[in-house]
Every structure is written in structure tokens, then in C-alpha cells.
Amino acid sequence: MLVMSQRVLFMNSLTNKHISNSVALALAEDFGAGDVSAGLLLDKTIIANIISRESGIICGVEYAQSTFLSLDDKIKLDWKVKDGESISSEQVLCVLIGSSKSIISAERVALNFLQTLSSVATKTHYLVSKINHTNAQLLDTRKTIPGLRLAQKYAVKCGGGVNHRMGLYDCIMLKENHIIASGSITLAVKLAIKRHPNIPLIVEVEDLNQLQEVRTLSGVTRVLCDNFLISDLIQAVGMVKGKLLLEASGNINENTIVEVANTGVDFISIGSITKNIQAIDLSLRFV
């Protein structure tokens, strides 16, 4: 099944090396030739707390940990939470002990990872909770922040969502332009299966007529119903009768997701959970 194969791919991809590389790029961007503000401080051992200023789902602990230790491996971090856990306002998430200069230099990059990934996890969790009464699963998309795809898709999983394809390499997705260039859905599907018989295949359709055409073809893993009306989604579910997995996508938000899930579709993909995010409010304070 597509979802399971991508879970395995994802877990193999999110390695310590990937995290350390992401952290190194972020620190280089921020640190440059050195922190001139921290350089003004008298360096001493201090205690600091990372505190949440609002409720949510925490994510990004390993990224933040790697950020501090990359600058100074003598910093001691005592995390009070784990990725995927609920946090509340004014909760202490982590206690740090170490060099004041090192901690303050790493602060912003560490919090950027935590705030961004926690936002994705929190938004995902909120939407997943709205459709828990159905069998529909919430999918992410490729609409991610450049360089942070694996991190954001990890955050989606921490929020209870499911990963869509990771990139252009692990799944064929035939959309309108692929179909136009090929001449028809049938020709596009046959070419895809001939060239890549072992790669999962998703076909996007824009109306019930196109869905009917896909129904006659073999080898399709899932059909994405793009911008369908609710009435059309209901008809689509009836047409496939469980023989094809259906994904609903396009302009779905917190106000419409329940109605979409109630149609009986298997998946709902929403780009906004990784694209339109508002950082969770966190802060670091010396004690």
C-alpha cells in the first residue's frame, strides 16, 4: 500500500545526519562570522528555560537539541516533553545549563525549528481531530518550506497525519498537464505503468467522467478528486465502491473538512498544514 511504503521511506530518511545537516545550514545562515551581540556578554554558566506561551503539539526536539549541541557540546539539556505531546501555555519544555554565550547564540535557530515544526504538528492535530469519526486520513502535500520537507512531514506525523509522496521520485502523480501532454488519461496511465511498473501511481481527475475512465484502467493506486463538489464526491465514492482509493483535494479547510470526510473518501490532502502556518509562541529565558 502506498501509505505504508512511504512511512518506511520517511523513517529511513529522517536520520541524525539529515538533522545535523539541516541544523548546520541554519546556523551558518544565522551565525556567519560570529555572534557580535553575544560577544559583548561576560561568559558564565547559566540556567535557562524554554517556555511555551500557548498550547499546541510540540515537535522539533531533536532539531533544537542538535542546534545547541552543535555550537557547544557541553550544554546540558533536560527536555520535559517529547515530540507529539500536548503542551500548555507557560509550560517549561526544556531546562538548559551551560555557557551563556553559547545558549544565546543558538537560541533563535533552535526556537525557529521548534516553533515551525510545532505549528505544523498542531495544525495537523486540530484537523485530524475533526475527522476522527470517519475513516478518512489527512495527508500533507509537497507544498513545504524549501529544505525542510522531511522535517515538516515528520511534524505532520507527530500531529497524527499521514505523509503523501515525499517528492517527485517515489510516486507517479498524473495531473492535468501530464494528461494533456500524453493525449488522454488512458495513454498517460499506460505509459506510466510501462515505464515504472513498480512505482505507486496516482491519477488526478477533475470530474466524474474522468473518474469513470480511470475506473476502467488497471494499475492505478489512488485517484485524486480535485476541487469536487460534495455531491460529486458522494457519487465518486459510490462509483468506485471501495475498489479504488479516493483522495479529495483542493480548497479544503477547517470549515469544510468534516463535510468532505463524511462523503466516505479515504484521504484528504491539504497543503495549508505545511504552507500556511503560524509559528507556535515559544521563548527562552535565563533563570
Residues tagged active-site: 108, 143, 175, 204, 226
- Residue pair 227/258 in contact (Cβ under 8 Å)? The answer is no
Closest CA to 216 of 190, 182, 178: 190
Is 273 strand, coil or helix? helix
List phi, psi (to 5°) of 58: -80, 145
Q: What is the DSSP string of 117-147?
A: HHHHHHHHHHHHHHTTTSS-EEE--S---TT
Cα separation, 180 vs 266, in Å, equals 27
**Cα atoms found within 13 Å of the Cα of residue 94, Cβ hemisphere only:** 27
Cα separation, 105 vs 19, in Å, equals 19
